[in-house]
Amino acid sequence: MTKITLHNTKTRQKEDLVPVKSGEVSMYVCGPTVYDRAHLGNARPVIIFDTLFRLLRHVYGEANVTYVRNFTDVDDKINARAAETGQSIREITDGTIGLYLSDMDAVGALHPTHMPRATEYIAPMVAMSADLIDKGYAYEAEGHVLFAVESYADYGKFSGRGIDDMIAGSRVEVAPYKRNPMDFVLWKPSDADTPGWDSPWGKGRPGWHIECSAMAHELLGESFDIHGGGNDLMFPHHENEIAQSKCAGHDFANIWMHNEMLQVEGKKMSKSLGNFFTVRDLLDQGVPGEVIRFVMLSTHYRKPMDWTEKKREEAEKTLRKWRLLVENVDGSYVPQDILLSLSDDLNTAGALTLMHKLANDGNVAELKSAGALLGLLGDEMGAWIDKGAVDLSVFSEKLGNAREKAMQSKDFSALDALKRALTEAGVEVRMSKEAVELLPTSTFDPSKLEGLL
């Protein structure tokens, strides 16, 4: 079996993946808070961990991989959106989940094995909070349940911070009922206008961090293999998950993986800079989901990802070329070097480099198989390539004939005019002594070719 090594944030080094249950792999990834559409940065962890999911299924078998990605559907941002729009909370969360899945489908993400909603696991959250109180790690105050960070000696070890440093460097909620400013909420009271559930501490709702610990325990057990998310979640979310889960007696995750953040044209994505956009914005602008996926995979997940127009254009050009090559081709097997690249801490950028070589060497069946492992070149993602179903081979033949005539007559005006027309239609013209190759680019407009036939 192929050995997979992954960088473990917890130990700051690469480690071999050794499943808790032999032959089976379990993975939990923090999902979205469902009150608005997914922006481009939200798509990065989805694509990264979807690619890891595909690799794990390839190595261990589909039936032996369990992937959980949650939906946070109880949150103050959702409550605010409901008050702002007049919609019910359920309408907002149901609608946003539908839009999210549609957008992630468009970038080729498989559905995880389980997609739990936080509101479906309130009872386990209440039970875990009560257990932490009983064990002396949490306390009740004014209808709140708070985790006492000083009760857990390793608090801050995961993110590499001391409690005093955290207080100095973080905006913490100052509340008179807290014993320590860093104590975090497991449960909080709800008023008549806020969603709430019965609990030993009165009507209330869970804090953010407790939901992932409770759902991971319910669906994956005391211990599981991989926990993933963006590196912005390392503190406080993942630090707090570890603290409460460990104190509840759960071994929790063995390997922690974090992707770096996304930039746009070298700058942090921000509405104030005018470079903030959602996945749907790009799709509506005509950027294919497969192109979004390719650009995301072209940078290693532990490096900052810079989305640029140049990268988008290059990705579309490459995918058009590859799709022409693999058209009507059945994949054979995934080349070992592709598998080894992905198995080495999910080196997708290296795998794409190897795919370029497969394309250049004419190994199209292997190219198709390699693409499938990365979620590329599949038939279900190929509709975007069809812009009028123009057969460029007709123009290749026409260009070849024009060249022959030009060579005989020494008059190249007709040949140059045809090449110019093809270029203006968004077709890259490659001519050699042996062949004429025409490749559609991102600006390909088949309507401009109609007068050339």
Q: Where are the domains of the chain?
A: 5-259, 263-385, 393-452
Distance CA 67, CA 56 (A): 10
Distance CA 297, CA 294 (A): 5
Position 161 scores a pLDDT of 78
Position 331 scores a pLDDT of 83
Position 396 scores a pLDDT of 85
Position 193 scores a pLDDT of 84
Tokens standing for 292? Answer: 């979004």
3-state secondary structure the chain: CCCCEEEECCCCEEEECCCCECCEEEEEECCCECCCCCEHHHHHHHHHHHHHHHHHHHHHCHHHEEEEECEECCCHHHHHHHHHHCCCHHHHHHHHHHHHHHHHHHCCCCCCCECCEHHHHHHHHHHHHHHHHHCCCEEEECCEEEECHHHCCCCCCCCCCCHHHHHHHCCCCCCCCCCCCCCEEEEEECCCCCCCECCCCCCEEECHHHHHHHHHHHHHCCEEEEEEEEHHHHHHHHHHHHHHHHHCCCCEEEEEEEECCEEECCEECCHHHCCCCEHHHHHHCCCCHHHHHHHHHCCCCCCCEEECHHHHHHHHHHHHHHHHHHCCCCCCCCCHHHHHHHHECCCHHHHHHHHHHHHHHCCHHHHHHHHHHCCCCCHHHCHHHCCCCCCCHHHHHHHHHHHHHHHHHCCCHHHHHHHHHHHHCCEEEEECCCCEEEEECCCCCHHHHHHHC
The CATH number fitting domain 5-259, selected from 2.40.50.140, 3.40.47.10, 3.40.50.10490, 3.40.50.620: 3.40.50.620
Position 453 scores a pLDDT of 61
Query: Quick one: which of 245, 237, 239 has its CA closest to 137?
Result: 245
Position 172 scores a pLDDT of 58
Position 188 scores a pLDDT of 96
Distance CA 430, CA 436 (A): 6
Position 441 scores a pLDDT of 72
Distance CA 389, CA 327 (A): 13
Under-50 pLDDT residues of the chain: 169, 387-388
Position 163 scores a pLDDT of 66
Position 166 scores a pLDDT of 62
Tokens standing for 179? Answer: 């014993």
Position 388 scores a pLDDT of 47
pLDDT in tens, 121-178: 999 999 999 999 999 999 999 999 999 999 999 999 999 977 666 655 455 566 889 9
CA angle 337, 342, 348 (to 5 degrees): 105
Cβ-based burial of 181 (10 A; exposed 0-12, middle 13-18, buried ≥19): middle
Position 274 scores a pLDDT of 83
Model pTM score: 0.86
Write the CA distances from 67 to 23, 94, 151, 371, 403, integer angstroms: 15, 21, 32, 21, 57
Query: Quick one: which of 4, 2, 3 has its CA closest to 345?
Result: 4
Position 245 scores a pLDDT of 98
